């Protein structure tokens, strides 16, 4: 069944690329096929509310590659790189710390979240839809100079899911 959902999502992707647009339903279907649901998710609006509240702030971990992070990231996010991630990087972080992970769409961050949960971290969540959904919902991203509209779109085929912001491919 999961393979059928994934195949359906990729068919939608190809069709939508041809049309030059996407829909929320198609994006949700694609994510449903990608996610294993092994890490609880948090919606962009929920995260925005937490980040603007006078409460304990979560540790934001960006699991993308440095060239993606350098184009833009969520304010205060720490880069942990999916391909090089080791749980030991967070050995100083208490196991009950609220941790929010993200990547482009949430696949890589879910894999890192699985590692953290296996290591005993108890308050780990994955940003639903990743930085693409964050930006699509009108939330801000930043680079080393401050607020930016640029977002690393990962690749042309994945970039179709990014509806807002200025898409960047490769290093800039």
Are residues 80 and 112 in contact, defined by beta-carbon separation less than 8 angstroms?
yes
How many other C-beta atoms lie within 10 A of the C-beta of residue 164?
14
Query: Structurally, how many domains does the chain consist of?
Result: 2
Are residues 151 and 74 in contact, defined by beta-carbon separation less than 8 angstroms?
no
Domain co-membership, 11 together with 69: no
Residue-range definition of the domain harbouring residue 126:
37-168
Domain co-membership, 98 together with 151: yes
Confidence (pTM)? 0.85
Domain co-membership, 89 together with 121: yes
Question: Rounded mean pLDDT of 163-169?
Answer: 95
Domain co-membership, 58 together with 2: no
Domain co-membership, 28 together with 61: no
Domain co-membership, 63 together with 3: no
Domain co-membership, 107 together with 75: yes
Domain co-membership, 13 together with 82: no
Long-range contacts of 154-160 (CB under 8 A, 24+ apart): 154/68, 154/104, 157/13, 157/17, 158/104, 158/105, 160/13, 160/16, 160/17, 160/22
Domain co-membership, 60 together with 126: yes
Domain co-membership, 127 together with 162: yes
Q: Comparing 85 with 17, which gets the higher pLDDT?
A: 85
Q: What is the pLDDT of residue 1?
A: 53
Instruction: Flag the least confident range among 17-21, 100-104, 143-147.
Output: 17-21
Return the CATH number at 108. 3.40.250.10
């Amino acid at each position: 069944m999961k393979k059928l959902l994934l195949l359906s999502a990729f068919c939608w992707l190809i069709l939508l690329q041809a049309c030059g647009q996407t829909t929320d339903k198609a994006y949700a279907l694609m994510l449903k096929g990608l996610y294993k649901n092994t890490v609880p998710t948090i919606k962009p609006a929920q995260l925005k509310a937490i980040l603007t509240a006078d409460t304990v702030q979560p540790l934001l971990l960006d699991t993308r590659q440095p060239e993606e992070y350098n184009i833009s990231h969520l304010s205060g996010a720490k880069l942990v790189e999916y391909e090089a991630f080791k749980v030991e990087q967070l050995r100083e972080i208490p196991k009950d710390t609220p941790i929010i992970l993200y990547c482009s769409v949430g696949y890589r961050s879910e894999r890192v979240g699985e590692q953290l949960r296996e290591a005993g971290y108890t308050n780990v969540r994955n940003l639903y839809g990743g930085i693409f959904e964050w930006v699509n919902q009108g939330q801000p991203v930043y680079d080393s100079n401050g607020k930016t509209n640029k977002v690393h779109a990962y690749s042309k085929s994945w970039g179709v899911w990014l509806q807002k912001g200025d898409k960047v491919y490769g290093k800039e």
